[in-house]
Amino acid sequence: MGGPELPPLPGPGGWPGPVFVMGATGRVGGEIVRHLAPTGAELWAAVRDTEQATLPPGVRPVRFDVADLETYPALRGAAVLFAMWPPGTGVADLGRVFAAAREAGVRRVVFLSILGAERLSILPHRQIERELEASGLDAVLLRSGYFMQNLTGIHAPEVRRGELFIPSGQGRTSVVDVRDVAAVAGRELARPLTAPAVRAWSLTGPQALTFTEMGHLLGVALNRPVRHVSPGPVTFVRTVTGWGVPRGLALFMLAEYTVARLGLAARLTGDVETALGRPPIPFARFAEDYREVWLPNN
């Protein structure tokens, strides 16, 4: 557990300095930007194309690409950094980012990892955590469960068809709302700077659900059935790559859902409530809040 309840977000003058957000138009980074923009924090949104990025008013787009060392000077002047592992990059790439961040004067890195990374040393997430731990920076590890919002992104077309095509069997998965992850990340980014240390939060919602149960709750929100279909591994990879999912991502998804099928993804923690001083968002509320995403005309 990361520690006691984190202090609330400060006003415009209470931040440690500029906040650099990697993946600022992605699922988690984008939610962090939306969450922090109203606070008056100086937000630098890392994007590959500053002309095309759609960001809240007052947020500064900066060109940054983990694979392009020439963009790393964009880190100069930032005080804190939200970092994640972009698809298609390697552990060494993130190690270079952390080294560049330290050289640029960044004091703290909040890194988005996955639940149980500390026990799964074979995963890139744990290897990246080690790079950060060795960097000398103040390090915060957000080890997050399965994002509920995965069902509003890559799986949304299935839900619109009344289906969840996920090879998890009847294994349970601890799910977490990205809005809770962003809220914890925001408070860690805002926390007053101290001597470098390593803190870790294991972030889950209040429930570990099967995808059959998730389909039922989606069906309640949509007032129509959403059934879970659990295909075999080969069928899953062949089908989702046929939908346009890159093969590497399809294999990562298969590994993630296999962990659930084996009954190894059901761990729950109280870290969201500890960090925020309120209960985490349950799946039923998520389904109601996002129901328009799965309407047939979207």
pLDDT digits (tens, 9 = 90+) for 140-188: 999 999 999 999 999 999 999 999 999 999 999 999 999 999 999 999 9
The residue type at 195: A
Amino acid 156: pLDDT:
97
User: What SS3 state is found at 160?
Assistant: helix
Round to whole Å and give the CA distance between 109 and 36.
16
Round to whole Å and give the CA distance between 264 and 258.
9
pLDDT of 13-37, one tens digit each?
889 999 999 999 999 999 999 999 9
Mean pLDDT value of segment 241-263: 93
Round to whole Å and give the CA distance between 275 and 253.
28
101's tokens? 């961040």
Amino acid 252: pLDDT:
87
Amino acid 277: pLDDT:
96
Among 240, 210, 214, smallest CA distance to 226 is for: 214
Amino acid 27: pLDDT:
95
86's tokens? 């972009």
Amino acid 1: pLDDT:
60
Mean pLDDT value of segment 190-201: 94
Q: What domains can you pick out in the chain, each with its CATH number?
A: 12-145+178-203+269-276 (3.40.50.720)
pLDDT of 82-135, one tens digit each?
999 987 889 999 999 999 999 999 999 999 999 999 987 878 899 999 999 999
CA dihedral 81, 86, 88, 91 (to 10 degrees): 40
Neighbours of 69 (CB within 10 A): 12
Backbone angles phi, psi at 97, to 5 degrees: -60, -45
Q: Which residues pair with 47 in a beta bridge?
A: 63
Q: Which residue has the tokens 């001083």?
A: 277
Round to whole Å and give the CA distance between 247 and 135.
32
Q: How many separate helices (H) and strands (E) can be counted in the chain?
A: 10, 12
